[in-house]
Amino acid sequence: MSSEKLFPETWVDRYSDYLYNYTITRVNDHEIAQDIVSETFLAALKSKANFKGEASERTWLISILKRKVIDHYRKINSRKGKAEVRMNYSDEDSEGDWLEERVSDPFDKTAEDTMENEELGLAILNCLGKLNEKQATIFKMKTIEGFETEAICNEFNITASNLWVIIHRARKSMADCLEENWF
C-alpha cells in the first residue's frame, strides 16, 4: 500500500466515530474531542505523502490521533504551569533517561523497527507486571492513558506530591527492568 491507497474523502464517514470514541475517553470533553479528531484529519491530509503503507489507514490515523491527545495534555500542563517536575533522588537519573523519551517516531519505521517495537512492547508489559498493582495502575493512568494529575489524586486519595513520588519510583523500576531485560 502506498500514499495512492489513502482515501481521505472517506475518512470522516469511515473513521470519525471510532476516533471520537477513542478521544472522548481520554479527554472527557465533547468539544475538545471533536477538535482533536478534526486536527487529526488535517494533520493526516498534510502528511499523507509520508504514509508508507506499512499499516492500515485506520491504524495510521490512530497513531496521529494519539500524538494529538498527548499534545493536548502537554499544552494544558504548560498553560497551567503544572509541567512535570523531574525529581532526582540519586545521581543515576539523567535528563534523557526517562521512559517516555525512548519512544521512536511512529512515522519513521522500517520492518526491523516494527519488530523491535513489538519486542519492546512485550518487555514494557513484562516490566509493568513486576510493579505493585497500585504503582502500575497509577503509572499507566498518568503515562500511557494521559489522565490528569487531579483525577488520579482524587481516585486514589493521594496528594500530587505523593503521585509524583509513585510515578518517579515506577519510572525508575521500569527503566531498571528494561535495562536488564531489553537494552
pLDDT by 10s per residue, the chain, length 183: 344 588 889 998 899 888 988 888 888 888 999 999 999 999 999 988 888 888 888 888 988 999 898 888 888 776 554 444 444 444 444 444 444 444 445 555 555 555 556 777 777 888 888 999 999 999 888 888 888 889 899 989 999 889 999 988 998 898 888 888 765
Identify the CATH number of the domain defined by range 3-80. Answer: 1.10.1740.10
- 94: cell is 539523567
The rounded Cα 125 to chain-centroid distance in angstroms is 14
* pLDDT score recorded for residue 106: 52
Residues 6+ apart with CB under 8 A from 9: none
At the top level of CATH, the class of 99-181 is: mainly alpha
* pLDDT score recorded for residue 180: 82
Alpha helices in the chain (DSSP H): 11-27, 30-46, 57-80, 111-130, 133-139, 149-156, 160-181
Instruction: Show me where the domains of the chain are located.
Output: 3-80, 99-181
* pLDDT score recorded for residue 94: 46
Burial of 7 (0-12, 13-18, 19+ CB in 10 A): exposed
* pLDDT score recorded for residue 96: 46
* pLDDT score recorded for residue 51: 84
* pLDDT score recorded for residue 109: 53
Biggest CA-to-CA distance, the chain = 53
pLDDT digits (tens, 9 = 90+) for 84-123: 444 444 444 444 444 444 444 555 555 555 555 677 777 7
Contact criterion met (CB below 8 Å) for 3 and 48: yes
* pLDDT score recorded for residue 34: 92
Distance CA 65, CA 140 (A): 18
* pLDDT score recorded for residue 55: 82
